[in-house]
Structure 1
Amino acid sequence: MAATAIPRNVLYAQSGGVTAVINASACGLIEAARAASPRIGKVFAARNGILGALAEDLIDTSAESDTDIARLRHTPGGAFGSCRYKLKSIDEQRAQYERLIEVFRAHDIGYFFYNGGGDSMDTANKVSQIAERLGYPLICVGVPKTVDNDLPLTDCCPGFGSVAKYVATSMREAGFDVASMARTSTKIFVLEVMGRHAGWITAACGLAAQSAAEPPHLLLFPEVAFDEVRFLARVKDCVERYDYCTIAVSEGLRDSAGRFLSDMGTRDAFGHAQLGGVGQIVAQLIKDRLGYKYHWALADYLQRAARHVASRTDVEQAYALGRAAVDLALAGRNAVMPVIERLSDSPYRWQVGVAALKDVANIERKMPADFISADGFGITDACRAYLAPLIEGEDFPPFRDGLPDYVRLQNLAVPRRLPDFAL
């Protein structure tokens, strides 16, 4: 569908777990949309993702100054609110999809940008399909975001590089601490990181070690079935060699039967198993079997919120993809997503490409086999070459009174024009 010459409005929404740089994508997108005036009208944001779109709870970003929009580039979290809410198939939830089109029509939305992961790309793709079925002129563009780095067809995902930098930094710093205390106190340190099915964040912890003697000594990936006997033997050997052992473990660690070690027996809004506490499970196993004193830590929200130690590469890519999304929309590219294409490792060079949403939605990219060491407990040189550029560079936020100075937007509501809609 060719872009229209009549200015139409934008709706932007954030989805899923937020990151240290999702707002950098929002910044790039809003700045590009403002620069495209008069081809684009107002830029609205849905409060709390697709839920805000369904509820007609929209934010008028034109009320925000250029200065405050620019400050989004170094502010973590989701400036407009996010959600975990998965729309099912169009046939199953046609009323919800039709409601979205009603909201778009009421506010003359011609461009819909959904900033999220695989489930969000699926939603954006379905919205483009229902718009076409109903004859409503709409261009849908996905904007990639996920700390898990598991979207296909892009070299990396905005949000991952900063998490990678944070966990590698944390592991290196904790390693110095444990090494100091190992002789008379703690022998074991376990860091649990995010990653349900893909071990990218766990692999990033491995960047902290420059030799086999340095932390982390062992990595536990979701892609490698947990073998208790082999694992405990390696822990014992490590302690005997170095006097301590440090371990990074993915929340999605599974046993040989494919069961999550930390499955809590509940499901989230996307139908995924609720996980938590695998770090403590692994640490307690070591204590029970080998008798070593341990400490364990759960990186949890800290890893994805740590804007103070964000990767400059990550920030630049997140911002660039936000701007690229607007360029694609204005070029009439529907149901697509801008991606990162790697041109070389050293020096690291990249460019923005494009992928179809149908080829991205609901597809998880796991760690390649050649990125995991033969014994299953480490990363290879190929993995290190891939990861290293993604954590390069610093992009510190401004500080005030000793703390990061982040922006909180006004987020003024757009007057509603439609009746309430029950979710």
Structure 2
Amino acid sequence: MPRATLFYAQSGGVTAVINATASAVITEARARKVRVLAGRNGILGALREELIDTSKEPVAAIRALAHTPGGAFGSCRYKLKSLADDRPKYERLLDVLRAHDVRWFLYNGGNDSADTANKVSQLAAEFDYPLTCIGVPKTVDNDLAVTDCCPGFGSAAKYTAVSVREAALDVAAMADTSTKVFVYEAMGRHAGWLAAAAGLAGDGPDAAPHLILFPERAYDEDDFLARVQKVVDRVGYCVVVASEGIRTADGRFVADAGGGKDSFGHTQLGGVASYLAGRVKDRLDLKVHWTLPDYLQRSARHIASKTDLDQALAVGKAAVRYALEGRNATMPAIIRTSDAPYRWKIEPAPLDRIANREKTMPKGFIRRDGYGITAAARAYLEPLIRGEAYPPYGRDGLPKYVELKNAAVAKKLPAWEG
């Protein structure tokens, strides 16, 4: 019989390889005869006691998760506040875990998820409940502290670099009689990692992208437009990559969508590319096209990075190992040991060094003029998009992805009133 139970939940925006981590978690747990319950729609599944019995899934389905995008069990944007402010929710969470004999808690997400896992570990200790909590890294924003990079970022970075290179060829072909400026919007609220990845699309002063706008640098419209005009005059066209989170010198988001705040307290962003395109058209009278890839950046499993996939699998396997070793309040972090040749390993990192901290682009990664990446950034980024990890394709020409049964576990507690 399996010994006790492991609980796994996915958090926040999904990635092209988050299910690969889930696959590794379940596979490793099965090898150690540990039952895995998953939260339906992330942490809400635990609070609502909507738990999924992964043992009902065949081996082939769990294996196929590794090449399936999305979040197989559902995810959510739901932030638990401090232990003092949200204590009833934390206690409800502990009650559910106790009712189902959960001794290992794995939360696959970003900064806020690391914070939640850390707080759950503290509450369990307060109630003397034997629970080991592990944060599992995931985010396309690449903004987690301690870890060299985040599973999910490498594939989104590869999609971004490939898309910008291909679009640039299109613009170059039409620039004489048509589009002069193309604006590509990349994800990144406070950290410009994905925008920087676009810089891999070309190398040299005349290679696209010609201008990159980072959230780490204040947006100056006059300077930006003057540079656009200079590039068009010199090259014949200009490809711009803008992070969604760019701000003016007074701290205002250029692309504040006016949609209020999300559940994490973040300003709803959107439309920086369309805004910039409008300013170029109005002030420079140049024909402009723009694109907002949005979810495509994080769901593009068809063009996933092999490095990213390998790391997503590695952190899932290590998370189970750390949990069973009793390494409480820990995250498996990716540690780079060499740039050339690129080498990395997994090591445990304490959650209190990761929770609610944000890793932005180092100053040395942004070109001195503020509109491109440096050689140091290229050396860091390039290995992360290396290698192809294509999913299998069917005769219909489309990838063959898996959809799980997600069989529910019988509830044992009264309904949650939260």
Displaced runs of 4 or more, over 4 A: none
Map residues 314-393 of structure 1 onto 2, 5 A cutoff.
Answer: 314-393=308-387
1:61-108 deviations in whole A, cap 9, x for unaligned?
A: 000011110101100010000000000011111111110111011100
2:17 to 4, 21, 25: 21
SS in 2 for 1:404: coil
2:83 to 90, 96, 105: 90
The answer to whether residue 246 in structure 2 is matched with residue 253 in structure 1 is yes
Whole-angstrom distance in 1 between the partners of 2:50 and 2:87: 20
The answer to whether residue 296 in structure 2 is matched with residue 296 in structure 1 is no
Contact kept? 2:257, 2:271, Cα under 8 Å:
no
Whole-angstrom distance in 2 between the partners of 1:375 and 1:97: 48
Map residues 60-71 of structure 1 onto 2, 5 A cutoff.
Answer: 60-71=53-64
**TM-score, with length taken from structure 2:** 0.99
Amino acid at match of 2:129: Y
Whole-angstrom distance in 2 between the partners of 1:27 and 1:286: 46
SS in 2 for 1:399: coil
Whole-angstrom distance in 1 between the partners of 2:265 and 2:213: 24
SS in 1 for 2:46: helix
* Percent identity over paired residues: 61
What's the offset of the Cα at 1:258?
Answer: 1.0
SS in 2 for 1:351: strand
1:35 to 13, 16, 31: 31
Amino acid at match of 1:409: L
1:409 to 375, 386, 404: 404
What is the root-mean-square deviation in Å for CA atoms of aligned residues?
A: 0.9
Whole-angstrom distance in 2 between the partners of 1:220 and 1:255: 11
What's the offset of the Cα at 1:135?
Answer: 1.4
**TM-score, with length taken from structure 1:** 0.97
Amino acid at match of 1:15: S
1:145 to 116, 138, 141: 138
1:203-227 deviations in whole A, cap 9, x for unaligned?
A: 0000001222111100000000011
1:59 to 52, 55, 70: 52
1:257-305 deviations in whole A, cap 9, x for unaligned?
A: 1110111231000000000001111111111110001000001000100
Amino acid at match of 2:235: Y
2:274 to 272, 280, 284: 280
Whole-angstrom distance in 1 between the partners of 2:70 and 2:166: 24
The answer to whether residue 244 in structure 2 is matched with residue 244 in structure 1 is no
The equivalent residue for 1:7 is 3
Amino acid at match of 1:254: R
SS in 2 for 1:170: helix
The equivalent residue for 1:422 is 417
Amino acid at match of 2:122: Q
SS in 1 for 2:241: strand
What's the offset of the Cα at 1:6?
Answer: 8.6
Contact kept? 2:273, 2:290, Cα under 8 Å:
yes
**5+ unaligned residues in a row in structure 2: which ranges?**
none
What's the offset of the Cα at 1:346?
Answer: 1.1
SS in 2 for 1:168: helix
Whole-angstrom distance in 1 between the partners of 2:2 and 2:95: 20
The equivalent residue for 1:305 is 299
